[in-house]
Structure 1
Amino acid sequence: MAITGSLLLAPASALAFSVGDSWDWQLTEPVDLNRAVDVLDLHPELVTAEDIAELRAKGIKTICYVSVGTLERTSPDRGTFPQEVVGKTYGDWPDEKFLDIRRIDVLLPLMTARFESCKAKGFDAIEPDNMDVHDNDSGFPVTARHTVAYVRLLAATAQGLGLKIGQKNVPDLTEDLVDTFDFAISESCYQDRSCKSYLAYTEDGKPVFDAEYTDRPIHFSKACAIGRKYGLSMILKDRDLTAPVLWCPDENQ
């Protein structure tokens, strides 16, 4: 496809995120970018700068997936992480190991490089996954206080690069983070009964993007009613976040 230089050079912060934005989330190939949505959250290794530029030309805002709390076995930069900051295997995801997020001196430059890569590809924002190291058996004595300190620095780093950044899960930390982040991404807030925990975002004019999962029992129409109650943008996805998606009524614009 032919992409003009002006598209590739458009500033990453040019597109604003708004409450009620429709969205889709795809982290596993093959991706389907033919989506009539306001926002696409994508794994950066599955798309090119040309793909992102074409989405921007359509007015679609893009979020770049970055794991900030784990190291994936397939990460291209895996060799740059010293062994002393790599902990236990993430039980639900055996190809990932937790990071010692207390070691900001080591991790901040590495995450900055990842954010810069997202910016270079043309993304508008960052999804900082696995912020919940303190809630897991990571192999390190990480506390919620460490999480807050770490992710606030990550937010300042992303925003300093002209990128938006969202709170990922950790509903218990919303009060500490809502003033720092530009939006929130939640998994299964209806199924986990935690949607109300993100209300501070929508009340502050910041969107909350929620995904419910097909591998858990759900009455999706009831979930959508809760989503509308709290102003959330809700979708139904498979656990691997492949292309298939179901939107709540009136969200697929």
Structure 2
Amino acid sequence: MTARRLLVPLAASLMLLAACGTAPQPVVVASPSPSAVISPSPPAPSASPSPTPTVRPSRSPSASPSRKPAERWVPKPGITWQWQLTTPVDLSVDAEVYDIDGFLNDADVVAELHRRGRKAICYVEVGAAENFRPDYPDWPRELLGGSNGWPGERWLDIRDPAKLKPVLAKRFAMCAKKGFDAVEPDLMDAYESETGFPITAAHQLRFNRFVARLAHEHGLSVALKNDVDQAAELVGDFDFTVNEECAAFDECASLKPFLEAGKAVLHAEYDLAPAEYCAESRRLNLSSLHKSRDLDAAATPCP
């Protein structure tokens, strides 16, 4: 992630929390009953440098047939959402959409969300390689760049999307096989960071459009993750956007192209208090949450 938005890749957060032995104080903690939580299957031991075990590899899924644009789910502005990248997922949160880790959650979690009338978004990284994921050995070595600031993660060279397609296609196929409705592909603004590669804005546009097409080929709706400066150019390619801290960086108005197209802006703030941004969120019809940076179950939506 960019230096100003050190996002919260799940496993990196888990490793940091494990090292510290403490957890951040949540804003609002939902208290699920035991029956409201579905735990994923126990993970297998990992070769990750962290003692925290990694996720259990999924079976190799086959791609789902592409849905026509009219058949794809397009979340509308103002929809309610929950963003939790820790497990087990708290299924008691009152939200229409859940954005959860695609590797750590199995099909039974997605099925339970659907049973409760929720939509499910599959979080995966597309712009960095994570050495704690089961498919890490599949990334071509020559495409691995510098650290993105999180333990075990390295930027990817996105200039030739075809070289990344085999791994990304398997990730999206995994999301589709588990029954997810959409994908949140993270780290889609590498051109704004020091990656170790001369990535330009033009490279990023081409890669992001490639990601959108690939998700659609697997029958998944797809979010533009951050990349606010290119939002107007990409609104036609993506079904909604997931944004971090547009209020903190005075960028929320730049996401109007999505809102005007009838596409949701799923928005999270970390450091600002809700009173500092909720009025604008309501005016623009953003789907805004206050979250802690570890993205656990605690969340405060704008009233």
Asked if Structure 1 and Structure 2 have the same fold, meaning a TM-score greater than 0.5 normalized by the shorter chain, the answer is yes
Question: Are residue 242 (structure 1) and residue 289 (structure 2) matched?
Answer: no
Establish whether residue 152 from structure 1 lines up as the match of residue 209 from structure 2. yes
CA distance in 1, matches of 2:138, 2:173: 16
Residue matched to 1:129: 186
- Match of 2:87, SS state, is coil
The 3-state SS of whatever aligns with 2:277 is: helix
Structure 1 runs of 4+ with >4 Å offset: 11-16
- Measured after TM superposition, the shift of residue 222 of structure 1 is 2.8
Equivalent position of 1:226 in the other structure: 280
- How much does 1:14 deviate? 6.5
Alignment of 1:103-252 (within 5 A): 103-213=160-270, 216=271, 218-249=272-303
Task: Find the residue that maps to 1:94 and give its secondary structure.
Answer: coil
Task: Compute the displacement of 1:16 (Å).
Answer: 4.3
2:80 aligned residue: 22
TM-score, with length taken from structure 2: 0.75
> Secondary structure in 1 aligned to 2:206?
helix
| 1:107 positional shift | 0.3
CA pair 14-148 structure 1, distance change in 2 beyond 3 A: closer
Which letter maps to 1:220? P
Q: Quick one: which amino acid aligns to residue 162 of structure 1?
A: G
- Unpaired runs of at least 5, structure 2: 1-34, 36-63
The answer as to whether partners of 1:38 and 1:59 remain within 8 angstroms in 2 is yes
2:121 maps to 1:63: yes
User: TM-score, normalized by length of structure 1?
Assistant: 0.89
How large is the RMSD of aligned CA atoms in angstroms? Answer: 1.8
- 8 A Cα contact 2:74 2:263, kept in partner: no
- The answer to whether 1:48 aligns with 2:109 is no
Give the letter aligned to residue 237 of structure 1. Answer: K
Amino acid at match of 1:34: S
Distance 1:207 1:145 in 2: 25
In the alignment, structure 1 segments of 5+ residues that lack a partner are 2-8
Confirm whether residue 89 of structure 1 aligns to residue 147 of structure 2: yes
Matched AA of 1:231: N
| Pairwise CA distance, 1:121 | 0.5
- 1:57-83 Cα shifts (integer Å, max 9, x gaps): 222111101111011121110000111
> Is 2:130 the counterpart of 1:72?
yes
Letter in 1 for 2:261: D
Moved more, 23-32 or 197-206: 23-32
Partners of 1:133 and 1:149 lie apart in 2 by 12
User: More deviation in 114-123 or 22-31?
Assistant: 22-31
In the alignment of these two chains, the number of paired residues is 237
**Contact 2:146/2:196 (8 A) holds in 1:** yes
Higher strand fraction (1 or 2) = 1
